[in-house]
Amino acid sequence: MNDTQIELAKFKVQLSRFTDRPLMQRLGKVKVRYFNRAGGAIRTTAKRLLRKAPQKPLSELTPQERTYFEIWKTLYARGDVPQRPRRPERIAKPGRPPLLHTKPKSPLRELIFYFVAEDGRSVVIGPSQFRSGNLRQLENRNPFMGPAMAIIEPKLPSFLASASQ
């Protein structure tokens, strides 16, 4: 079992605790619905903020990257290599959401979860720890959870109103 499967198993346990009848009775149906709507909306927005990294334009390539790309392009034109040459991918500017560099799916995007905190008064939303412990550093340089909350925050009263119906 790899790290991703272990994290998903932990999340399923957390989710089953969340939808468990005693917890629902303790929190009340309205609060549970509200937490589900708010947590799910923020999680979805955070996942959508994470975009695939585009290739650098030729003008942004370093001399070393440009040379490597030109050599690769020549080899591809002669038929010596089967793969089409690709320019290096951009990295996110500080203060902007991180860009994803993995294919086909990013573990960062796939491991964003939400669950009700133990005290039953808040929802915890964010990526679970995987492989490296530098998520705090990533959020400081390239925030994506804070902006997701800012996008959804004006909608929270409507979530509460629809949960109470």
Residue 17 lies in a domain: yes
Tens-digit pLDDT profile for residues 37-84: 888 899 999 888 888 889 999 999 999 999 999 999 999 999 999 988
DSSP one-letter code for 84? P
Between residues 111 and 44, the one the model is more confident about: 44
Residue 99 lies in a domain: no
Q: What is the phi/psi pair of residue 127, to 5°?
A: -75, 140
Q: Which domain holds residue 136?
A: 3-52+107-163
Residue 86 lies in a domain: no
Decide if pLDDT at 88 tops 70.
yes
Are the beta carbons of 46 and 113 closer than 8 angstroms?
Answer: no
* Total residue length of the chain: 165
pTM value?
Answer: 0.70
Residue 144 lies in a domain: yes
Tens-digit pLDDT profile for residues 10-32: 544 454 444 555 655 666 778 88
Tell me the pLDDT band of 5, cut-offs 50, 70 and 90.
low
Q: Find the radius of gyration of the CA atoms of the chain.
A: 21
Residue 69 lies in a domain: no
Residue 152 lies in a domain: yes
Q: Are strands 112-116 and 123-127 parallel, antiparallel or unpaired?
A: antiparallel
Domain tally for the chain? 1
Residue type (1 letter), 154: P
Residue 26 lies in a domain: yes
SS3 23: helix
Helix axes 156-163, 29-49, angle to 10 degrees: 140
Reported as half-sphere exposure (CB side, CA atoms, 13 A), residue 21 has a value of: 0
Q: Which residues contact 127 (CB under 8 A, 6 or more apart)?
A: 108, 111, 112, 113, 135
